[in-house]
A and B are shown apart, each in its own frame.
Chain A
Amino acid sequence: MPLLSLSVFLPLLGGLLLMALPGKSARTAHGISIATTGLTFLVTLAIWTRGTLPGGFAQIEEIAWIPAIGAAYRLGIDGLSLPLILMTSLLFFLSSIYAARITDRPAVFVVLMLMLETASIGTFAALDALLFYVFFEVSLVGMYFMIVGWGYEERQRAGLMFFIYTLLGSLPLLLAIIGLYLATGSFDMRLWIDTPPLTGLTAMLALIAMLFTFAVKIPAFPVHTWLPAAHVQAPTVGSVILAGVMLKFGTYGLIRFALQMTPEAFVQAGQVVLAFGVFSAIYGAFAALAQSDLKKMIAYTSVNHMGYVVMAVAVAALTIDADLRAVALNGATLQMVSHGIVTGALFFLVGMLQSRAHSRKMAGFGGLLGQVPWLGWAFILSAFASLGLPGLAHFPAEFQIFLATLNAQPWAIVAIVAIVITAGLYLRAIAAVFLGESNGKWADMPDLDRSEKLAIVPLLVLIVLIGVAPSWLLGMMDTTMRALQF
């Protein structure tokens, strides 16, 4: 059974089914949404049990699409994409549970969300560059309408900025794809990975185009400015998907396209990429420190965490020691998954707080821990994970990244400063919101209800599980990363 295609198109089918139904009530809309995303999650689990192959792609599904130009529908997975697909389907499942409280045009919202899931899983599973680009761009459209339709006060401006900024960002990738296509006459990504077709100046130009695209998506300094605006204005589910899933398009592309398809140029540009990564990590931490808006703060910590991923990929390119390279890339991939889960949880929690208080300003809160212990402890656990506390999800990832960095490019270890800053800003946020004098204003704030707990608890469990025993995830990645040719 073509499980990969099933996981990609099941959400879309669910959306079409919902559109075809007459008289859509909120109940049916959310029922279909939860059922579809749940089923998709099960399908991805089945894909996991089928496993990957070392040194290549597994579970390949291929159908001719535009044979005249060598474009085909090609799907497949390896140790890089499989963990991301699993994380994606889980986050969408939990999002659909949380989204069940949306009453404003619920059917449209659900259709958009399901469309986004198809686009996201498709992006990670595509092995045809044109197909990859299709999914990559469709996600923009879905996210734009989600921000504009269900966002907060300044959603029009934020949505417009997000759409135009990221479209400008992704078009250079199209140029690079066309360049690679003209050199080979095919859009098959496996071909481009096995024998990188470009050399010299053209390879460098293609790399620059790809780096620009993925830097916007990641987002890395200095093209990160769309992120805080989009995140703050997006609805909670939108933020979770944007941070948890869509930022990974950038880091995934960084490895899959930039590193694997133009390896020589990437090695030449390695120091520059590394410097951008280091700067992004430090800049993101300081920018987060300066925020008084809780959601904006978390958005900036994404810049910081994704900066580590960029660093790790650059370190992997710059080192020739195979073990060290695997450590760096394992760290990078694990960091993507951890960030999806931890930041997903944090955005859920901030959204839950905002829906109760209608405010995100840290200064307006205080002493909430006694009032809403579930919300409070969940936030504290996620925040500790985000600052890299040992035993929680980010630690094994960041540990490997810094280990590889220290061995290969010792100067870049300055990025470790960012960890201290992040610790400081999270502790400050926890103190301001959950500890201290209780503010009488919030005396009747209710704690998490059942569906909110359902959405958040699996993420908390995973945060601890990845932190304590990451080997089940690392094993999945390691075979691929060791065999990665570049």
Chain B
Amino acid sequence: MKTILLLEDLPEIRAWLVTLVMQVFPDGQISEAARVHDALELVSAIKFDLALIDLGLPDGSGVAVVEKLRETQSECQSVVVTIHDDDEHLFPALQAGAFGYILKEQPRELITEQLQRMAQGEPPLSPSIARRVIAYFAAQSKPQQPDLMPHVSLTERESEVLLRVAKGFTLPEIGVQLGLSRHTIADYVKQIYRKLNVSSRAEAALEAQRLGLFRR
């Protein structure tokens, strides 16, 4: 049995998502929330396995819930469900610890499949997100504050996977190209998401520290 958090402010969409989630996880136990505040309360009360989180909510951004989940329930998979298809909206959520994303307007079959994949540990990674991640780590690797920054870098293989994703190859195709199993590739992607989160947190901490120094 899976415990699932569903954060979505539009009732119709929420209802639709519920039916969809029920279809993928028939034995799932779904907790619904329409606001960030409610979702945070649920997170502190219940331990979730999966969280579907909308970003644009009446009382704030779903990114806060993603962060809270990563901090308190590291086992929980946060998935962003959004109407924004551009990486500018998605990337902050991924940095905060989201494990994937689903575009809301996609047909039911597609979303179903993506949910199943994620449940099996295969998070989606679009070329535009991959490019963004590459750019992010390229900027990180520049020697700006080597002492202060806990350095997180991608392995050669992870970079290779990212580059191929950016060129439009699907994960199975990359697996074939690199002679790796589908699961290994999926692991790389998960690892990339994790590193993105860790590096982002380190950066945020550093930023906070710097602001603290200034304040003092």
A binds B: no
